Amino acid sequence: MRFRKLGDSDIDVSEISLGSWLTYGEGVERDQTEACTRAAFDAGINFFDTSNAYGRGTAETAWGEILSAYDRDSYVLATKVFFPMTETDRGLSREQIHKQLDFSLERLQTDYVDLYQCHRPDPETPIEETMEALTEVCEAGKVREIGFSEWTIEQIDAGLEVPGARKWVSSQPQYNMIWRAPEAELVPFCAEHGISQIVWSPLAQGVLTGKYEPGEEHPHDSRAKSDAMGWAMDRYLTDEVLEAVQRLKPIAEEAGLSMVEMSLAWVLREPNVASAIVGASRPEQVHSNARASGTELSADVLAAIDEALRDVVVSGPQLANFVEEGVKHR
């Protein structure tokens, strides 16, 4: 396993990390969650990403129980804040950041998180209030570094301009061979400001493994067949996309790689990417993901990938789900 620096911080994260969206505490049973977590440590993964919103706290609770068996300085732990936790608890106000962080720390059974991320922007709250609150939790020793997920350039920049505020070190966008939207504006902007990408859905929620074939029934044990885990996959399950993905198989085979290794290596070819966050429901998936670390793709392979996917690539800037544009100031 290779490691990369997280933005301008002193935190080193594994190139492959383990995420818990739609899986742990929700779609995957407790014993499998523990087995996958153990497999991650065995594979050299040190970076674990979750959110208070995943299962309304159940993902944090599951990892809190499991990770408490490991030395706290042996792993990097990230969680998030923004989405509703109750009818009245949501957003990035000072009150919510302090309140939700304390709840997260309790569920995670730890005194601090290494990375606290704003899960989406909150244009209803003054950016100064949000950044000051994030700075306060860092100064209190509850958070080491801060990041964001799926913010616009305007919103990221506004956060950077708040006087005396803690600086962003990470961005968490969706990014994969099909969904290349971050390349247009986000990656160049972040690279200029010492902010790394830690990307979600680098395997297009499993579609880039090649296991979903056009016109065929989805595998019975796949994410697409799960009500808990498959609800966000629609954009990747069209026949056009699945046919394009099938064209990647001979490219991977000729390169001597699995589809997983090739897909993750493609994401990691971007220097601004610090880590690719991958979900897993079985330990063997964790190990197959980890094997991608350090894999380099030739120019010929990269060109062949572009040709195979040319009709389905999303390349321009895109707003993610649940993102509202704009910045509010005091």
What H or E segment, with its residue span, contains residue 61? helix 58-67
Distance CA 33, CA 18 (A): 11
Q: What CA–CA distances, in Å, run from 89 to 35, 176, 244, 328, 329?
A: 33, 32, 42, 19, 21
Distance CA 167, CA 187 (A): 17
Task: State the burial class of residue 300 (Cβ atoms within 10 Å of its Cβ: 0-12, 13-18, 19+).
Answer: exposed
Residues carrying an active site annotation = 54
Question: Do 146 and 115 meet the contact criterion of CB atoms below 8 Å apart?
Answer: yes
Question: Do 289 and 152 meet the contact criterion of CB atoms below 8 Å apart?
Answer: no
DSSP state of 319: P
The maximal CA–CA distance of the chain, rounded, in angstroms, is 57
- Angle at which helix 299-309 crosses helix 259-268, to 10 degrees, equals 100
* DSSP output for 69-122: TS-GGGSEEEEEE-S-SSSS--S--HHHHHHHHHHHHHHHTSS-EEEEEESS--
